Each structure stands twice: as structure tokens, then as C-alpha cells.
Structure 1
Amino acid sequence: MRFAGMKETPLKVPHTEPNVTSLLTNRLTYLLGVMSPDSRIVVVCVGTDRSTGDSLGPIVGSSLSKYRSPLFDLYGTLEEPVHAMNLDDTLREIDSRIRNPFVIGIDACLGQAASVGCIQVGSGPVRPGAGVNKELPPVGDIHITGIVNVGGFMEYFVLQNTRLHLVMKMSDVIAQCVYLSIAKTVRSTYPAALPD
């Protein structure tokens, strides 16, 4: 993998930035460029619909599920969320069902006040539960996180009291960028994988 041993600086962009879609799509396309030709893209959207702040992942998953795309496999939607209770089983299922998966991990996170509303894309896994001091397995070869609220104090309460409007806006941007970057990567690198 190109990123092994390297510290790739994650790209962090406010979801309100005028060119946010092109910035995130270009970075995702670049990060997807390390896949081997026999890899299959798998998108894992982590979170739960029982907490407004933590629903970013499942909302992104539900948006992506509307594409019904043959270009990637999808885990984690509002209907069937991937969360703390089933994350281990989901990762085992991916490893057993998909040969050489290249995983994009998507999750909400908490951060500094100035970063709320930013979307971050980088190499390496997302670490679900880190914001609320839970030990969960890392997810992804690359990751996307949406900073939905301020961290550092009463994290569960903060996640419960996150504005749904912000989560929805960020989810729209993330879903669009994920789909565009996957389609761009598959078209340029693996045209035989595209349907007629």
C-alpha cells in the first residue's frame, strides 16, 4: 500500500466550502488509486439512528443505497446500521464474503468548535467509538469523518444534542463525493468492471 509507513495529512474541508465536492472527490479518487486491480470497494458507514450526532454514517449509507451500484458493496444504513453491537460481525462478514476488500470507513466524530461542520478524508482506518471512549475495531483502508459537534465533555449528551440539519447537510456532501470518486476510479482504472 502506498501509505504504509507514510503520514498522509488528512484533508479537512468545511461542508459549506463552495468547492467542497470537487476537493473531497479528488482526494478520495487519489486515495482509491492505491487499490490493487483485484480489490473490491466496500463502503462501511458506522453509527446508529438512535443518536442524532451518530446518525451521520447510516444516513450516508441510506443515500448511497439509492444508487444500487454494482461498483461497490455497502454496509450500514438507517434500516440496517453498523454500530458497536454488530461491528465485529460485520467486519468478519466482509472478510469472509469479499475477496481482497478495499474498505472506505465513514463515521461521525467530535472535535474542536472551529472544526464543527468539517469533513475529513484520509488514509488509514476510522476509529469508531473513540470520541466516547469505546474500544471498537478500526474500520477502513481509508476513512471519511464528519465533525458533527464539540468533543471533550459529556460526549454522549453532545451527540444526542447535535443538530440534525447539520448531519443531513454533511451526509449529502459525503454520499455524493463517495459515489463520484468510486465511479471516477472504476471508469479510469477498471473499465471492464462497469456495466454496459
Structure 2
Amino acid sequence: MKVINNVIPKKYQDQIEKMMLSLEFDWHFLDDITYALNGENDDPKRVEFPDAKGSPGFAHMFYHKPDGVDIMSKNYLFILPLLLSFVEEDNFELLRIKGGLLLPTGIGYNQPHIDADVPHKVGLYYVNESDGDTVFFNKNNQVEKRVQPKKGSVVIFDGSTYHASSCPLYHNKRVVINFNYV
């Protein structure tokens, strides 16, 4: 696991935050931001964490490649330089780029999960200054590490690591961009 602060220049950080918090940005509501209650995460290998909850939130799909078909939002090309700023591999395949917006709910951490069922890497970029840690779990399903959102930082980790978002308590929103690639 690696955390990089100020992975992109401050001006680009501010432009991304402004874009994602504008009235024109296309957010979609989810009853459970981890998809557990939406019927989209019913993997039989899924591990249940009794202390985890599911919280509502909003998502924006910048890029997705279901069944080999590229689906891109109009904001995809604007976000792409962010990905290229931290990916170390010369040749990589993009699986998904998803924005996430969580509001204060009083819920602890959300359902721990992995983002894809193939070996992959995750780059989780924090769009705004917030609380609402990202919680990482070890092989025994115990909390191993917490990373607090810091605007302009990215945490890069192995996609097989179970992780969970947390809703903010002291800030009015937590905004991230989740990059999945192989």
C-alpha cells in the first residue's frame, strides 16, 4: 500500500473538485454505495462483516468496460491525466473509474469489499478534505489500517485487499475517485 500526497498540481485538484461538486455533474443515487443492497454485489465468495453497515450515496461512472464494451462519461478525458500521474506500469488495462459521494449518516464503515473479481490494482483519489476514513482489512478480516481523506492524495493498493469507505462525521461530504486497473 502506498499513499502519495499532492499527486497532481493544486490547480488540477481544485478543477476536479469544482467539476464534481457543480450542479452540472451527473451523480446517481444508490441505496448502498457498495452495491450490497442493489443486488449487484451478491458474489457467493463475499465475506460478511458483522460490524459493517450499508449507507446511501451517489456514484458517477467515468469509465466502465462491461462485457468488453467501453462506456465513458463526458468527463472521462478530464480525469485521465490524474490516473496517468500515479500508475507506474507502462502497459495497463483500465477496468473502471468511479466517482463516489458520501454524506454524513452516522453509520460507521460500509460493507468491506473488493472492486473486481480479477487480479487488479486500485488507486483511490481523495477529491476533497474530509473525514470518513477508508478502512483496510487483513486476511483475518480485522482492521489493519485506516487512511483519512486528504484532498489531492491517492492511496494505491492491491485490489484483493478488502476495504471499506466511511461516511464523514465532521464534514458535509466525502468525495473520491476510484480507479481499477490491471
TM-score normalized by the length of structure 2: 0.27
Looking at secondary structure, tell me which structure has more strand per residue. 2
Give TM-score, length-normalised by structure 1.
Answer: 0.26
